[in-house]
Chains A and B, each alone.
Chain A
């Protein structure tokens, strides 16, 4: 059996879960089914608001699903497992802690904040080029640096699964490319098509809300990947297939003009 099995997952938000803003229950996720292996990088690609975040939160055990099953490493996820890492769209660091203590936060919660943990935190921060900023406070760092700290925080407890919700969405183009390379070096969700193709082993494409899996595609690019790979025919082909599945590009064999549709791609 695959490491991660997502089967017929459905989520309907009831009114008491979302407050009084909606008049009727919202079907956020209709039917999501796909599998992935351990160590595999999977990108969820779909229009804005299609339920990718909802699926991530279900897989993370933060919210309950309405139907279907999510099994990670043979365990059915019904509550947080404690050994997953999370990266959010915003860095979401604690302003009252310095960089090192922000990274060590998961170890404190897990009561494993020992010398080995500190060593690992140092290693991670060095890997992302922030070893000179251990005692800096978040507000002294740029957005890209803050997100790198958040990435280290998500990795410090050696999670079995790393869930990332548009982790580079709030960054500028150049910083985002740097972060992509960084992530490749370290070795999952993104909305940008080329980013997904560049980073992933597998891309799962979602339809508009309520989301269903429209297409699952393997990315055949070899490792190590560098920015050069973006200009190879294999990359362009994969990016076009993904774009067609999303409806960003009309699915014709010729070079059909891309019409901007349903807010897919970068925002």
Chain B
């Protein structure tokens, strides 16, 4: 037990403290101006003093991220089922999906701004775009990777298409869905921030940009810190979903 506290808490903490100490030392010894690199205590002060602002802007970014991600799941999962189960649809769209996946979707941000304005819509569209592809591609791959024997077993029992889907294909694809969702949620945060960079009047990305342009570097660092916390939080949400379904998931799909 004591060993676990050492290895899982104290050592990582010591590593973080070491880096902060190096940061403080560098600011002090090299006499770096606050505008270029604020010392940790100034960032901490910004975090405390501007906590209301950070929370309200963080709330905006969190909503963009989660709404966009949920939209991507709602559209991506059914489409993945359609593409995986219909041979014509698969032939028509799967190569396109793979090709589109490698397009840098964030490059569309300026155009989305033109089409949808500076409000929530353009951010949702960008988050949706970046999150959609890993979800649909991984889910379709998972559905298609269902072992042939299990499908034949179900067919030999005259299972209905719905039974085959719910009892065989879907559970077999679930580990792939989780993998896709983990990639998607990470990209969703990036999409939200890029959307705010390109054109917005709120959100952590906007705050980061305006703080930098006003040379308020401590606030920019505080916003960056808040963004990291947000990213970890949403990733943990997906991880929580995975744990809730853990009785469904094989413990080590990679080894099977």
Contacts and interface: CB of A to CB of B under 8 A. Distances in A.
Q: Report the interface size class on chain B.
A: 20 to 34
Interface string A155-191: 0010000000000000000000000000000000000
Contact of B156 (A61, A90, A95, A96): A61
A59 to B, nearest CB: 11
Contacts of A110: 157
B158 A80 contact: yes
Interface stretch (A23-31, A101-109, A123-131, A209-217): A101-109
Contact of B251 (A62, A92, A94, A137): A137
A47 interface: no
B149 A109 contact: no
B70 to A, nearest CB: 24
B148 to A, nearest CB: 9
A109 B154 contact: yes
Given A137-B251, A139-B251, A139-B256, A108 B167 contact: yes
Contact of A95 (B158, B163, B250): B250
Contact of A139 (B152, B167, B168, B250): B250
Query: What is the interface of chain B mostly: helix, strand, loop, or mixed?
Result: helix
A157 B156 CA distance: 12
B171 interface: yes
Nearest to A61: B156
A57 B153 CA distance: 11
A193 to B, nearest CB: 25
Given A96-B174, A106-B157, A109-B157, 15 more contacts: A60-B152, A62-B152, A82-B156, A86-B156, A88-B149, A94-B168, A96-B249, A96-B250, A105-B153, A108-B167, A109-B163, A109-B167, A139-B255, A139-B256, A157-B157
Interface of B: 147, 149-150, 152-159, 163, 167-168, 171-172, 174, 247-253, 255-256
